[in-house]
Structure 1
Amino acid sequence: MKKVIVLFVVIACLGAALYMGIGRRVAESPPPVIGQTQSVYQKMDGLSEDVYRLAKEGKYSEAKKQLAELGMLVAQAKPPKGLSLEAVNALTDTVIKAKRAFASVEAEPNRLIWHALQVRLTIDSLTHESEPLWKNYYNSYQEHINKMMLLVASRKQNEFARAFTQNLQLYQTLKPAMSIHTSAQNMEALYSVYSFLIQETRKQDYNWDGITNALEELNRQTQIIFLGKEQSTFGLGIPPQSPILIIALFASCIVSGLGYFAWKKYRAENEGRKRERDG
């Protein structure tokens, strides 16, 4: 039994050391470098943050000036290596539309904040490839899909239309940022789903079966785009580097080992008692 305890302690220590080592490497890893224009994109990132902050504070004229400077940098900067044509167009189009909104005579404050947020998320996606801000909206996106699924099941047409409108607004906000590091194929699949749902919500009578299929595809694409793969068989949404998952894996190894030693001990005791009875 002492050997089992020693083995348990050794495995636990190895697991803790491995996890601490992984966390240290992740913490010490430098941000991704984007060619020779890294300093330009870092400046763009700071400007986009200022634009969003100023817009939320109601300082629209100051935000407009920062946005104009950001627009000049976007026009002059060399696109990052590997960026698709669709992503380049999404980036420039987002900045251009935001500049037009801020130049409007009667611009709505909420609309300006929305454009500022869209610009912020898109620029951030250029400089933070591993953990961009737009991926923080995964839970909200998933909640929208779950809610729409329930409304489809209950055939509540008006409520579904409102829920879909909310999700569509979120999709339109994140779309430019998504396109930076999402394949054109996945973005096209997402566009097709939303095109179908938009058409259906304009009809008097919904094709509920078609909507159900579209939402299932939307859920699948959401897993791929936000998580980088389809939903895990664990069904818990735990990332591979999660300490919970690492601990669970080590625990399963320990339980298996303890179970094996317990079985051997039980078998040895049974054989001993049998020999005593035969003797």
Structure 2
Amino acid sequence: MMAILLGTQLLIGCSQRESSSSKSNETLPSPEQVQRVELLNQTADDMYNKVMQGDITGGRMVLQQLGDQVTQIQYYGIASVEGMNALAETVTQAKRAFNAAKYSPDEGQVYVAKIRLATDALTHTNQPMWLQYYKLLIEDVNGIERSAVDKQKQGLTQFINQLAQHYAVIHPSLLISRNPGDVEQADSLMVFLSNQLRSDQDPYSPVTSVITPLRQIIDKLFLKKDAAAYLPIVDQQNPIYWTLVLGSFILAALAFAGWRLSRKDNGLVPVRKKDEA
């Protein structure tokens, strides 16, 4: 079984906030908003470093500060409603993990990494750190394709789970940085793949059929090239049921992936700015 290329450290570089290209229908953030978001990013960096160094008490205290800061920021012109909600929900989940009767260091590290990447996405709109997950996601997709072609169920399960785990780490950042509709398309494909593992029918043909749109939507999210038109994947046997459960299943799948991720090497990949590569 191929090992997941993960690490326990994000290498956070100090860089100036990059100016985002303004859109005609968007309100530009005020200087006060920008200052508050930059402070939020610094707080997330401090929290991340404390937790990774084993200072759980200090990390918990900074997490509380970060939670207070999140509620004091007006996000118009900075993030969509979906992005704002994704950040707030991730912070809430992190608080639950850190205040649990039995704290899990691995789970805590995963949550602070998700928050760190999300706040970086708010302050570095052109080159956020989560972009460096592209290679990892594509390697997962290549593994899925090989396993489906060779009809290897064990490999298929492994690579689909790995893809879900890696995708879960950057999901809040995606909702901050990208069009929510594009993220929903990626979500639906992730759900479709996970659903095939639970199906009693042959999963190989359905999985193979979505490899191309999966690569296309990943390329679109990572701005690698112009992606072809996306065609939604629908369960032909139960289309109405699929529509009804899709939203809740996406949340459940991402939550499960986050839990699985916390059990395997913390689910983190070293992230470096281009000038550190």
**Residues 1:79 and 2:78 are matched in the alignment:** no
**Residues 1:212 and 2:208 are matched in the alignment:** yes
Residues 30-50 of structure 1 deviation map (CA, whole Å, 9 limit, x = unaligned): 632742311111111111111
Cα 1:165–1:82 shift into 2, 3 Å = same
> Max radius of gyration: which structure?
1
User: Of the two structures, which has the highest relative contact order with CA contacts closer than 8 Å and spacing of 6 or more?
Assistant: 2
**Residues 1:35 and 2:22 are matched in the alignment:** no
CA offset at residue 115 of structure 1?
0.3
Residue equivalent to 1:192:
188
Residue equivalent to 2:176:
180
Residue equivalent to 1:48:
44
The alignment yields a C-alpha RMSD, in angstroms, of 2.1
Q: Distance in 2 between matches of 1:228 and 1:153?
A: 26
The one-letter code sitting in structure 2 at the alignment partner of 1:149 is: E
Q: Distance in 2 between matches of 1:82 and 1:68?
A: 22
Residues 239-275 of structure 1 deviation map (CA, whole Å, 9 limit, x = unaligned): xxxxxxxxxxxxxxxxxxxxxxxxxxxxxxxxxxxxx
1:58 to 54, 58, 81: 54
Residue equivalent to 1:116:
112
Aligned residues with identical type, % of pairs: 23
Residue equivalent to 2:94:
98
CA offset at residue 204 of structure 1?
3.5
Residue equivalent to 1:131:
127
Comparing both structures, which one devotes a greater share of its residues to helix?
1
Residues 126-171 of structure 1 deviation map (CA, whole Å, 9 limit, x = unaligned): 0000000100111111111111111111010111101111110111
SS state at 2:36 partner? helix
Q: Which moved more, 1:223-232 or 1:188-197?
A: 223-232
Contact 2:144 2:160 in 1 (8 A): yes
Contact 2:118 2:176 in 1 (8 A): yes
CA offset at residue 70 of structure 1?
0.6
Contact 2:217 2:227 in 1 (8 A): no
Contact 1:71 1:95 in 2 (8 A): yes
Residues 13-68 of structure 1 deviation map (CA, whole Å, 9 limit, x = unaligned): xxxxxxxxxxxxxxx99632742311111111111111111111111110011111
SS state at 2:75 partner? coil
Q: Distance in 2 between matches of 1:227 and 1:138?
A: 10
Q: Which runs of no fewer than 5 residues in structure 1 stay unpaired?
A: 1-27, 233-279
Q: Which runs of no fewer than 5 residues in structure 2 stay unpaired?
A: 1-14, 21-28, 229-277
**Residues 1:154 and 2:141 are matched in the alignment:** no
CA offset at residue 215 of structure 1?
2.2
